[in-house]
Amino acid sequence: MPRASGGADAVVEAAPPVALREVFRRFWPYTRGGRPWFVVILGLVVLGPVVDAAEVWLFKILIDDVLIPRDLHLLLPIALAYLGLTLAAGVLDFADDVTSTWVGERFLLALRSALFRHVEGLSLGFFERRRLGDVLARMTGDVDAVETFLLSGIVNALAQVVRLGVFLGVLCYLSWHLTLLAVVIAPMFWCTARWFSRRVKVVARERRRRSGAISAITEETLGNIALVQAYNRQRWEHGRFERENLGRFRAVMASARLGAVYATVVELIELLGALLVLGLGTWELIRGQLTLGGLLVFLTLLSRLYGPLRGLSGLSNTFSSASASAERIIELLDQRPQVRQSATPRAPGRCRGEIAFDDVSFRYPGATAPALTGVSFRVAPGETLALVGASGAGKTTVAKLLLRFYDPDDGTVRLDGHDLRDLGLDALRDNVAVLLQETVVLHGTVRDNIVYGRPGVGEAEIVAAARRADADGFISRLPDGYDTVVGQRGRLLSGGQQQRLAIARAMVRDAPLLVLDEPTTGLDAQSGRRILQPLRRLMDGRTTILISHDLLTVRDATRILLLEHGRVTARGTHRQLLARSAAYARLYRPYGAAAGPQVGGPSS
Ligand SMILES: Nc1ncnc2c1ncn2[C@@H]1O[C@H](COP(=O)(O)OP(=O)(O)OP(=O)(O)O)[C@@H](O)[C@H]1O
């Protein structure tokens, strides 16, 4: 049998176990929309077995009053009654199917939406540590599996209990001591089910964990397919995939074996019960205490009684297997954003754009060394502050703190004098436009990509922004202009075109604060120069934090801050720094102290 949880080298860790009662408590609120329908389902659940029992009773009448006395006058009414009951059963089945599906799907609708909203609101730190593929698997496969809890779970349990009650009642009416004999085997059902459900849970957990790992590896490999193919890592990636795939296969097989053995054991127990009843029933028939029709009906009802009995015991297997998925979802739901909104967040509207870092220190969760130590600076509205320094010096971390992807461990980040922790996250981010190191172009049309900056913006503004971003030219040459679909991550555009599209998006956002993280990285010198003009237009009148290695952009800054190992070691204008800071001069010396406008800087 597969092991329950992945070791330290597992692609995806197993979620912590959760008690069954806790699982119900956590998921019950998502049934809110469908709860009134539980009454309807309950009604259908009661009527179903009544119709069933009536059908079996008709069978008794057929044997005792038609077949044995060879009297045909009751045949027609019995046939009509059969027809009516079959129709009634059909209608009940239909109503039951539709209502149950509706309630189940409503539950899934609510849970999936809530989970999406929750995960979307988690801090960047969560996504930097988690494997995206596994999160996807939880939001799709695991959510589906957990529905079993509430529908196949509660409704099924109810249906089985009602069935059991109805059939037991009829059986007792026919012969109470035969019934007593028939149910002595019930505890055997429970014990078997308990034994199996524990094992089912172990394999179900393993199966879900492996499914998460398969999604994770697929997402990572296909998302980086150019790298994988360029470095000929297909075989290695396939090996990794195959290990998880095989792990899942073994878990599924273990689960199938358990299921098959369980079914056989249950059948044996049923047979034991039926044989006991048959023995005693035949004796009662001989003594004239039971009619032949009565005995046959008793045996038929008995086989139907064992159905719910088996169903009820088997439910623990269903629950165990679904709870493996539930645990993975609960683990996601229990993640709290590291960045918390204040209880009474301020929403100051459009800010002037004054930024202040006061003695800010920060260490990434789990990291050994701090990323920033005692960083202080001020940027007045409309100014541009350039952050320079070697790779890993902490420049991007400054931008992440400003966007409040993380909160500082010490010190304060302020916007217009407000501590960022007092502002609503929406209010803060509404004031910022970002251009990231890795340009993000979404799958969709050119227009969709620009409008993403400010939903609802008019056509004239879109075109104006594209013009100012120098993007209008290439957009109009695209086959469908603004309606051209640019492919996932903008793969159908060149790096420079993607960057100009991103500038247009930042233009329509029209935010007073701008964060530019290496806007010219990845572009050749010519493409880099081409976006300088649009960048300057974008920066005009906005407070800008510019992270760059590119001297061309850095020289535009009002002030430059040199970061080394998370500390500010020098500050001033380009000329002042060249004169004052050996480290700054070293950064740009290879390109000449008086670097001309054609010069690009060192790359990270
Ligand atoms: N999510 C993270 N978790 C842990 N450590 C991190 C994380 N992100 C960055 N770091 C570490 O923090 C330090 C500062 O990183 P940062 O990204 O701010 O550097 P940078 O100056 O922007 O570098 P580059 O110029 O290469 O982009 C580095 O030592 C880096 O390894």
Q: Which long-range contacts (CB under 8 A, 24 or more apart) does 522-528 make?
A: 522/438, 522/439, 522/495, 523/495, 523/496, 523/499, 525/598, 525/600, 527/494, 527/495, 527/496, 527/499, 528/496, 528/552, 528/600
Q: List, in sequence order, the alpha helices (H) in 224-233.
A: 225-230
Average pLDDT, integer, range 237-266: 91
Q: Give the pLDDT confidence score for residue 151 in this predicted structure.
A: 65
Average pLDDT, integer, range 414-440: 85
Among the ranges given (1-15, 319-333, 469-483), the one the predictor scored with the smallest mean pLDDT: 1-15
Q: Average pLDDT over the chain, rounded to whole? A: 83
Residue 194: inside a domain: yes
In this structure, the answer to whether residues 144 and 31 fall within a common structural domain is yes
Residue 48 has pLDDT above 50, yes or no: yes
In this structure, the answer to whether residues 400 and 492 fall within a common structural domain is no
- What residue owns the CA closest to ligand 1's atom 31? 392
Q: Tell me the residue type at 384.
A: T
* pLDDT bracket for residue 125 (50, 70, 90): confident
Strand partners, 560: 386, 572
In this structure, the answer to whether residues 446 and 487 fall within a common structural domain is yes
In this structure, the answer to whether residues 53 and 136 fall within a common structural domain is yes
Q: Give the pLDDT confidence score for residue 455 in this predicted structure.
A: 86
List the 384-388 sheet strands across, edge first. 432-435, 513-517, 543-547, 384-388, 559-564, 567-572
Among the ranges given (30-39, 45-54, 433-442, 520-529), the one the predictor scored with the smallest mean pLDDT: 520-529
- 585-595 pLDDT, tens digit each: 887 765 544 44
Three-state secondary-structure class, residue 388: strand
Q: Tell me the residue type at 558.
A: T
Question: In this predicted complex, what is the ipTM?
Answer: 0.93
* pLDDT bracket for residue 2 (50, 70, 90): very low
Q: Structurally, how many domains does the chain consist of?
A: 3
- What residue owns the CA closest to ligand 1's atom 20? 392
In this structure, the answer to whether residues 416 and 444 fall within a common structural domain is no
Q: Give the pLDDT confidence score for residue 361 in this predicted structure.
A: 94
In this structure, the answer to whether residues 178 and 310 fall within a common structural domain is yes
Those residues whose C-beta lies under 8 Å from the C-beta of residue 214, and which sit 6 or more positions away, are 133, 137, 241, 244, 245, 248
How far does the centroid of ligand 1 lie from the alpha carbon of residue 530, in Å? Answer: 28
In this structure, the answer to whether residues 396 and 268 fall within a common structural domain is no
Residue 35: inside a domain: yes
Q: Please indicate whether residue 79 or residue 519 has the higher confidence score (pLDDT).
A: 79
- What residue owns the CA closest to ligand 1's atom 19? 392
In this structure, the answer to whether residues 219 and 368 fall within a common structural domain is no
How far does the centroid of ligand 1 lie from the alpha carbon of residue 385, in Å? Answer: 19
Q: Give the pLDDT confidence score for residue 9 in this predicted structure.
A: 57
- The pair of structure tokens assigned to 386 is 């350039």
Residue 2: inside a domain: no
Among the ranges given (75-79, 123-127, 150-154, 575-579), the one the predictor scored with the smallest mean pLDDT: 150-154
Three-state secondary-structure class, residue 174: helix
Structural domain including 313 reads 20-333
CA angle 317, 103, 316 (to 5 degrees): 10
Other C-beta atoms lying within 10 Å of the C-beta of residue 570: 19
- 163-200 pLDDT, tens digit each: 888 888 888 887 887 888 777 777 787 788 788 888 88
Those residues whose C-beta lies under 8 Å from the C-beta of residue 209, and which sit 6 or more positions away, are 5, 6, 10, 12, 13, 14, 328
Q: Give the pLDDT confidence score for residue 600 in this predicted structure.
A: 36
* pLDDT bracket for residue 5 (50, 70, 90): very low
User: Ligand 1 pocket check: which of 364, 387, 402, 437 to mutate, most ligand atoms within 8 Å of Cβ?
Assistant: 364
Residue 12 has pLDDT above 90, yes or no: no
Q: Are 318 and 148 in contact (CB under 8 A)?
A: yes
How far does the centroid of ligand 1 lie from the alpha carbon of residue 389, in Å? Answer: 12
Strand partners, 433: 514
Residue 87 has pLDDT above 80, yes or no: yes
* pLDDT bracket for residue 597 (50, 70, 90): very low
In this structure, the answer to whether residues 122 and 28 fall within a common structural domain is yes
Q: Residue 562 maps to which CATH number? A: 3.40.50.300
Q: Give the pLDDT confidence score for residue 7 in this predicted structure.
A: 52
Other C-beta atoms lying within 10 Å of the C-beta of residue 556: 17
How far does the centroid of ligand 1 lie from the alpha carbon of residue 396, in Å? Answer: 7
* pLDDT bracket for residue 330 (50, 70, 90): very high
Q: Residue 85 maps to which CATH number? A: 1.20.1560.10
In this structure, the answer to whether residues 315 and 212 fall within a common structural domain is yes
**Smallest Cα–Cα separation from 36: which of 101, 111, 99?**
99
- The pair of structure tokens assigned to 558 is 């009002």
- The pair of structure tokens assigned to 265 is 């054991």
- 354-403 pLDDT, tens digit each: 999 999 999 998 888 999 999 999 999 999 999 998 888 899 999 999 99
The set of protein residues with a Cβ atom below 6 angstroms from ligand 1 is 128, 364, 367, 371, 389, 391-397, 604
Q: Give the pLDDT confidence score for residue 115 in this predicted structure.
A: 93
In this structure, the answer to whether residues 319 and 374 fall within a common structural domain is no
Residue 238: inside a domain: yes
In this structure, the answer to whether residues 44 and 144 fall within a common structural domain is yes
CA 339 to chain centre: 20
* pLDDT bracket for residue 160 (50, 70, 90): confident
Residue 162: inside a domain: yes
- 542-569 pLDDT, tens digit each: 999 999 877 667 777 889 999 999 999 8
Residue 310: inside a domain: yes
Q: To the nearest 5 percent, what fractions of the chain are helix, strand and coil?
A: 65, 10, 25
Q: Please give the share of the chain, as a percent, with pLDDT higher than 90.
A: 19
**Smallest Cα–Cα separation from 537: which of 559, 567, 506, 575?**
506
Residue 482 has pLDDT above 70, yes or no: yes
